[in-house]
Copies of this chain bind each other. A is one copy, B any other.
Amino acid sequence: MRRSQDQRKAETRQRLLQAAGELIAERGVAGASVDALADAADRTSGAIYAHFGDKEGLLVALLDEWKDATGDAVRAEYEATDDEGARFAALWRNFVSPPPNASDAWVLLEHELWLYACRNERARSRVAARYDDARRALAQTLHASDGTSAEEVAALFIALMIGLEMQRRLDPDAITDETALAGLRALAHLRQPAENV
């Protein structure tokens, strides 16, 4: 019996975390009430308090367990070709049109939690670590060919893609794929100073 109890407990925890991700992406941190979060996971609010203490505890746990399942897929797709254009196109495509499993609103969850982290000390270090991980992972994927710092380029790539996606989400016609790719290409070769301009 111990076994099945533990299983149910673990399942509940996972259901709560997944439901939290989805519902918060849809309604926002403040818009997703404890009851609604529990409902979405087919549990009641009591389960949330038993597992995480309070709503903030759930959010912090969500941040801790929140890994990009996408990372590996992106890397594989990236390394499938040697052509720089195709590689950057893969990066961009995976960023703007989220992978099969994730909801279309996953980017909203990123912004939701970033905003939350800006106002909550406990959350900030976790989200900061998440961005640090993202930079490192991307830097490793890019494995900077030349003298440029790979992490520097990774930070710029991430920044550009986030900012472009923000604009595109408001107006899909505002940002073309060509613009995005031209931007990534330019950033990839920022080592050379503005010599022949």
A156 on interface, CB distance cutoff 8 Å:
yes
Asked if residues B156 and A164 are in contact (CB atoms below 8 Å), the reply is yes
Asked if residues B131 and A167 are in contact (CB atoms below 8 Å), the reply is yes
Asked if residues A183 and B174 are in contact (CB atoms below 8 Å), the reply is no
Q: What is the distance, in angstroms, from A139's C-beta to the closest C-beta of chain B?
A: 12
* Chain B neighbourhood of A30, CB < 8 A: 28-31
A114 on interface, CB distance cutoff 8 Å:
yes
Asked if residues A131 and B174 are in contact (CB atoms below 8 Å), the reply is yes
Q: What is the distance, in angstroms, from A155's C-beta to the closest C-beta of chain B?
A: 6
* Chain B neighbourhood of A170, CB < 8 A: 114, 117-118, 124, 127-128, 131
* Chain B neighbourhood of A119, CB < 8 A: 27-28, 108
Which residues 98-156 of A sit at the B interface, judged by CB distance below 8 A?
108, 111-112, 114-115, 117-119, 124, 127-128, 131-132, 135, 152, 155-156
* Chain B neighbourhood of A161, CB < 8 A: 159, 163
